[in-house]
Each structure stands twice: as structure tokens, then as C-alpha cells.
């Protein structure tokens, strides 16, 4: 990601650093959580098979915990080296953990996990519809944006590069996206990515049946300015649930289709920022892969991309809706070179 620090973030970071120095201690990082992990193949009937369209499966885990707040994860970021995970649940809880990998590079478990409630501007944990966090993206130096549905908005948090402030970080709100009051109650600001000084926020439900989704763009050098509304053409019939930064003016888009008698289908595409800004004069999204109900899949809502050994790797995380019939899946794939 391009190094980027708008003035409002620079001032907030300086103030946070000064307060930390005066206190002489690290703020609490939430409570410890024990997480069990079981490896799963992509194809249950062909456990050695790893191809998925243009992607290559690196491995996946089913994650469980006895902690009552564990689950519902709808947003994901990773440390630049891919060894640490930061996630958010749609009931308003942070999760941080180390990602363990085996000798082949497949994820093998989570360690040193901690959770903490997501807080408002006054330090009070969000409740009810206000807690429905759906997107997460790193801005710079421990600063993150979070998008929400139900109470449609984007908030910023200073967590520190080591995420040690998840237990105490308070929200700073960006201006509401245009037309926020008219967005769907449970299908709005799901996708979020930050790249080269701009935040891209995608609306889950498309405009009619065409597969055209609304995307808002915030210029983070002027955080008091309103977001601009744009649109992007993606696969018809799917909801847009996640963006991830790819660099080079590209975003990864994750879409989901669900039907009760079929289950979940997940579509993964690559789209240029230019196509969002000027959809009539740019190529449409490049469809990369599809995870179908006969594979290992669940209600995937979160995505993050890191570069490991010179290759971009995609991590996906599912929202189990706190349901015994669903799972929290963490899956990883190599992207095409």
C-alpha cells in the first residue's frame, strides 16, 4: 500500500502517541480467547485437489471457540507478512490472532487470540444495529476504517501497528455516503478497501438484476468532504460482500449468492478502479473463480490480500451468523501472477 497520512490522521496519531508516552504503558488488548482449528480440503471428495479457476488453494480451517462473542466475522485485514489476523464481527467485536502455518504454507491454526468490543466516539461499546460492522481496511500506521450497515456509516479507529488498542480505540466518523438514508437496512456498506489515498465502499445489493453495484469513493486527503457515488458492473445475481486492495489500480471483489435449497456460491473477480470511475469506457471485471455448494464453502463475507514470497495470497473468512448449522471458515488461495 502507498504510504499515506492525511492531516487529520497525522494529528490524531501524534496525540495518541503523546498520551501513550505520558501514561507509560500499553493499553489493554482485550481478553484472551481460545480457538480450535481443524484443517479442511477445498473439495471434500478430492482432498488433494487445489485448483479453483485462476486461483490455487493453499489450505483452510474451520475455527471454533467457546467464547460467546466468537463468530459473525464479516471483515478482515492481515499484517503485511500474513502472520497476524485482524477481524471484526457484525455484533461489534474485534478479533486479533497470530496465524500459524505448516511447512507447506497452509494455515494450521490461530494463536494468542484476543477479542474486545468495538467502541463509539465516547468509548461505549456499540449495541444492536449500531454494532453491525461489515468492512475493514488499513489506512496507514495502525489506522483503520470500518464500514457499517443498518446504521450506514464509515468510522475510523487508531489501533496501533500491533493492534494493542483494540480494547480502547474510539471511533471518529466520516461524512455519511450520499443517500445513506435510502440504503437497504441489511445490505448496504459491505465492501471496503483503501488504496492510494482513497477509500472504496461497495453496497451489497445491486441496482435491480443487472449486477451493477453502487460504490462510494472517499478522498482521504479531505476527510470532511462527501464521498462521490460511482457504479461497478459485477456478476448478476450476486451480492457484493468484500473488497481487497491489490495494488496497481486493481481491487479484488468478492460476491455471494445464497439460496436455501442450494446453499452459498462465492464469486471472486478482479476489477480496475478506472472501471468504477468510468464504467462505460473501461473493461468489465475479470472473473477469477467460483466456490460452489459442492465444495467447502459457507457464508463468506470478508477478504484480505497479502504478498508472501513474491506471490499475492487471498484470505477469505466466513460469517457463521452464530448458527450451529454454519461454520467460521478461514481459507487461503494464491492469486494468478
The region, left, alpha or beta by phi > 0 then psi within -120 to 50, assigned to residue 101 is beta
Q: Give CA–CA dist 121/89, Å, rounded.
A: 18
Decide: 202 and 215 in contact? Cβ < 8 Å.
yes
- For 17, the enclosing helix (H) or strand (E) is helix 7-23
Cα dihedral sign for 5, 9, 11, 12? negative
**Res. 1: pLDDT tops 70:** no
**Res. 169: pLDDT tops 80:** yes
pLDDT digits (tens, 9 = 90+) for 77-133: 999 999 999 999 999 999 999 999 999 999 999 999 999 999 999 999 999 999 999
- Residue ranges of the domains in the chain? 7-21+31-334
Q: Label the pairing between strands 311-318 and 51-52.
A: unpaired
**Res. 179: pLDDT tops 50:** yes
Q: Give CA–CA dist 76/242, Å, rounded.
A: 9
pTM: 0.92
**Res. 330: pLDDT tops 50:** yes
Out of 146-155, 175-184, 202-211, pick the least confident: 202-211
- Provide mean pLDDT across the span 211-240: 94
**Res. 5: pLDDT tops 50:** no
Q: How confident is the model at residue 21 (pLDDT cuts 50, 70, 90)?
A: very low
Q: Give CA–CA dist 271/176, Å, rounded.
A: 25
Residue 27's nearest CA partner among 131, 147, 166 is: 166
**Res. 141: pLDDT tops 90:** no
Out of 6-10, 68-72, 84-88, pick the least confident: 6-10
Computed over every residue of the chain, the mean pLDDT equals 91
According to the model, what pLDDT value does residue 280 have? 85
Out of 17-31, 81-95, 288-302, pick the least confident: 17-31
Decide: 29 and 166 in contact? Cβ < 8 Å.
yes
Q: Give CA–CA dist 113/67, Å, rounded.
A: 11
Q: How confident is the model at residue 9 (pLDDT cuts 50, 70, 90)?
A: low
According to the model, what pLDDT value does residue 28 have? 53
- Provide mean pLDDT across the span 294-301: 98
pLDDT digits (tens, 9 = 90+) for 252-268: 999 999 999 999 999 99
According to the model, what pLDDT value does residue 217 have? 98
Q: How confident is the model at residue 2 (pLDDT cuts 50, 70, 90)?
A: very low
Burial of 20 (0-12, 13-18, 19+ CB in 10 A): middle
Residue 61's nearest CA partner among 34, 28, 39 is: 39
Q: Give CA–CA dist 131/117, Å, rounded.
A: 9
Q: Which CATH class is domain 7-21+31-334?
A: mainly beta
According to the model, what pLDDT value does residue 15 have? 34
Amino acid at each position: 500500500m502507498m504510504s499515506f497520512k492525511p492531516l487529520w490522521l497525522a494529528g490524531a496519531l501524534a496525540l495518541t502517541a503523546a498520551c501513550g508516552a505520558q501514561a507509560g504503558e500499553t493499553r489493554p488488548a482485550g481478553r484472551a480467547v481460545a480457538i480450535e482449528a481443524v484443517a479442511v480440503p477445498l473439495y471434500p471428495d478430492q482432498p488433494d485437489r487445489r485448483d479453483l479457476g485462476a486461483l490455487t488453494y493453499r489450505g483452510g480451517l474451520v475455527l471454533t471457540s467457546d467464547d460467546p462473542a466468537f463468530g459473525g466475522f464479516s471483515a478482515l485485514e492481515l499484517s503485511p507478512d500474513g502472520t497476524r489476523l485482524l477481524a471484526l464481527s457484525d455484533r461489534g467485536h474485534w478479533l486479533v490472532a497470530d496465524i500459524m502455518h505448516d511447512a507447506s504454507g497452509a494455515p494450521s491454526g490461530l494463536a494468542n487470540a484476543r477479542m474486545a468490543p468495538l467502541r463509539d466516539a465516547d468509548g461505549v461499546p456499540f449495541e444492536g444495529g449500531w454494532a453491525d460492522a461489515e468492512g475493514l481496511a488499513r489506512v496507514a500506521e495502525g489506522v483503520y476504517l470500518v464500514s457499517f450497515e443498518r446504521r450506514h456509516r464509515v468510522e475510523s479507529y487508531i489501533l496501533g501497528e500491533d493492534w494493542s488498542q483494540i480494547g480502547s480505540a474510539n471511533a471518529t466518523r466520516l461524512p455519511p455516503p450520499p443517500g445513506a438514508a435510502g440504503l437497504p437496512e441489511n445490505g448496504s456498506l459491505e465492501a471496503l478497501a483503501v488504496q492510494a489515498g482513497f477509500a472504496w465502499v461497495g453496497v451489497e445489493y445491486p441496482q435491480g438484476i443487472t449486477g451493477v453495484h453502487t460504490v462510494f469513493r472517499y478522498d482521504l486527503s479531505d476527510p470532511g468532504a462527501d464521498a462521490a457515488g460511482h457504479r461497478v458492473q459485477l456478476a448478476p445475481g450476486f451480492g457484493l460482500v468484500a473488497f481487497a486492495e491489490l495494488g496497481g489500480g486493481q481491487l479484488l471483489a468478492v460476491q455471494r449468492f445464497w439460496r436455501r435449497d442450494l446453499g452459498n456460491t462465492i464469486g471472486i473477480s478482479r476489477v480496475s478502479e478506472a472501471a468504477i470511475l468510468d464504467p462505460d469506457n473501461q473493461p468489465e471485471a475479470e472473473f477469477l473463480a467460483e466456490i460452489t455448494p459442492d465444495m467447502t464453502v459457507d457464508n463468506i463475507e470478508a477478504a484480505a490480500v497479502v504478498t508472501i514470497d513474491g506471490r499475492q495470497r487471498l484470505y477469505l473468512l466466513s460469517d457463521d451468523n452464530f448458527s450451529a448449522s454454519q461454520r467460521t471458515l478461514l481459507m487461503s488461495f494464491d492469486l494468478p501472477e
